[in-house]
Amino acid sequence: MNELALAVPWLGKRNPQAARWLIIALALAAPMIAILFGRTWVRVLDFALLYIMLALGLNLVVGFAGLLDLGYIAFYAVGAYTFAFLASPHFDLHLPFYIVLPLSAGFAAMAGITLGFPVLRLRGDYLAIVTLGFGEIVRIFLNNLNYPVNITNGPQGINSLDPIILFGWDLSRNIQVTEELSINSLFLYYYAFLACVAGSILFIQRLQISRVGRAWAAMRDDELAAKAIGINTRNMKLLAFSLGATFGGVSGGLFGSFQGFVSPESFSLMESIAVLTMVVFGGMGNIAGAIVGALILSALPEILRHLAVPMQQTLFGKVLLDPEVLRMLLLSLAMILMMLLRPAGLIPANARYSHIEHLKSQGVTR
Same domain? 10 vs 85: no
Same domain? 48 vs 165: yes
C-alpha–C-alpha distance, residues 302 and 323, integer Å: 9
Across residues 332-346, what is the average pLDDT?
84
Task: pLDDT band for 356, please (50, 70, 90 cuts).
Answer: very low
Same domain? 17 vs 94: no
Q: What angle do CA 290, 291, 297 make, to 5 degrees?
A: 85
Q: Tell me, yes or no, if the pTM score tops 0.85.
A: yes
Contact 250, 101 (CB under 8 A): yes
Same domain? 1 vs 54: no
Q: Could you tell me the residue range of the domain that residue 319 belongs to? A: 38-361
C-alpha–C-alpha distance, residues 194 and 196, integer Å: 5
Same domain? 151 vs 259: yes
In a domain, 336, yes or no: yes
| Model confidence pLDDT, tens digit, residues 16-44 | 778 788 889 999 999 999 999 889 999 99
Distant-in-sequence, close-in-space partners of 162: CB < 8 Å, separation ≥ 6: 87, 88, 94, 97, 257
Across residues 309-319, what is the average pLDDT?
83
Same domain? 19 vs 91: no
In a domain, 108, yes or no: yes
Same domain? 5 vs 152: no
Same domain? 289 vs 143: yes
CA-based end-to-end distance of the chain: 22
In a domain, 272, yes or no: yes
Contact 1, 20 (CB under 8 A): yes
Same domain? 125 vs 233: yes
Helix (H) or strand (E) holding 129, with range, is helix 124-144
pLDDT of residue 363: 55
Same domain? 29 vs 76: no
In a domain, 366, yes or no: no
Task: Please state the three-class secondary structure of 197-223 as a single string.
Answer: HHHHHHHHHHHHCCHHHHHHHHHHHCH
What separation in angstroms does the CA of 324 have from each of 108, 233, 300? 29, 40, 10
Distant-in-sequence, close-in-space partners of 78: CB < 8 Å, separation ≥ 6: 104, 107, 108, 111, 138, 245, 248, 249, 252
Task: pLDDT band for 182, please (50, 70, 90 cuts).
Answer: confident
Same domain? 3 vs 68: no
Same domain? 101 vs 245: yes
Contact 74, 134 (CB under 8 A): yes
| Model confidence pLDDT, tens digit, residues 84-138 | 999 999 999 999 999 999 999 999 999 999 999 998 888 888 999 999 999 999 9
Domain count of the fold of the chain = 2
